[in-house]
């Protein structure tokens, strides 16, 4: 998400600089072609067909049952955490 914010600020700053350059440029032939930014996509949970048992890796610390390491893609880890919370709420 921070990357998306940084990209949005960069695009805004770049557009302002290009507008300023256009105002100061004597001829249109010297202008660089505008750079089209990559579209900002909203975060979403992975589809069920994309999620697999090997995409998110979970390891529990044998010495301390409260410590667990979760690794994988950010969206898949978030979806796995949401599933765990729903399961724990259902059993409570």
* pLDDT tens, position by position, 3-49: 777 777 778 788 888 887 777 766 656 667 778 877 777 666 556 65
Q: Where are the domains of the chain?
A: 1-42, 57-91
18 contacts: CB under 8 Å, gap ≥ 6: 32, 34
Please indicate, yes or no, whether the overall pTM of this predicted structure exceeds 0.75: no
The pLDDT of residue 53: 52
Residue 91 to residue 25: CA distance in whole angstroms:
67
Count of other CB atoms within 10 angstroms of residue 56: 19
Is the pLDDT higher at 2 or at 61? 61
Count of other CB atoms within 10 angstroms of residue 52: 10
Q: What is the dihedral of CA 41, 43, 45, 50, to 10 degrees?
A: 40
* Tokens 């600089």, residue located: 17
Closest listed residue to residue 72, CA positions, set 91, 37, 45:
45
The pLDDT of residue 73: 87
């Amino acid at each position: 998400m921070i990357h998306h914010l940084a990209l949005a600020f960069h695009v805004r700053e770049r557009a302002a600089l290009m507008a300023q350059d256009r105002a100061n440029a004597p001829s249109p032939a010297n202008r660089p072609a505008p750079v089209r930014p990559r579209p900002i996509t909203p975060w979403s949970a992975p589809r069920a067909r994309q999620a697999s048992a090997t995409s998110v890796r979970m390891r529990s610390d044998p010495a301390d049952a409260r410590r667990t390491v979760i690794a994988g893609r950010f969206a898949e880890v978030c979806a796995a955490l949401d599933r765990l919370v729903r399961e724990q709420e259902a059993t409570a």
